[in-house]
Amino acid sequence: MALFELKGRDMGSQTVVIERGPVKVFGEAIGDTTGTYAQAVAPVPPTFPFVMPYWGSMGQGGAAGLPIENLRGKGRAILHGEQEFIFFDGRWPHVGDVLVGRGVVSDVYEKPKSDGGKLEFYVTETTWSHEATGEPVCATKFTLAINCKPGADEATPLAQDSSSDSP
């Protein structure tokens, strides 16, 4: 059974600084030959917000993300699903921007497969805002899919919060 209890879960916040080096390297990786992403105050490539949590963290906060270890198991293959990028009102992140991302697990669902297995889907959404103004700049939506073979292990339930058991 999918971890339906994740739906609506706050994934925390994370502060990132968009640095020139990672933007330039990302631009090269996607095949940009114009040098647009090598400029001192370059815009980020359109799909760059997907990597901001990994490449730009100031070590503050840190979006918790999905509990991947709970989703692993025998007969369970973790797959990269759909991703979407939304840029607000013509705003675009640039080198030098300090952004705060706030994420949530917006949906959890599953679908049966014809072979008797199933697919589990975990959808996360993160909105990135300028640290100084709070104005939203962009948002990412990412779907992680788990391909479960017939007879696959179930997802490991989340540990109960032991602090609520204390008197």
What pLDDT is attached to residue 59?
52
pLDDT for 19 beyond 60 = yes
Position with higher pLDDT, 16 vs 61: 16
Give the pLDDT mean for 71-93: 92
Q: Give kind and range of the element (H or E) at residue 71.
A: helix 68-71
Domains along the sequence of the chain with CATH? 4-153 (3.10.129.10)
* Cβ atoms of residues 121 and 46 within 8 Å: no
Q: Rounded to the nearest 5°, which phi and psi values hold at 20?
A: -60, -45
Beta-bridge partners for 43: 94
CA 144 – CA 141 distance, rounded (Å):
10
What pLDDT is attached to residue 115?
95
| pLDDT-based confidence at residue 56 (cuts at 50, 70, 90) | low
pLDDT for 71 beyond 80 = yes
Beta-bridge partners for 121: 109, 145
Q: Model pTM?
A: 0.84
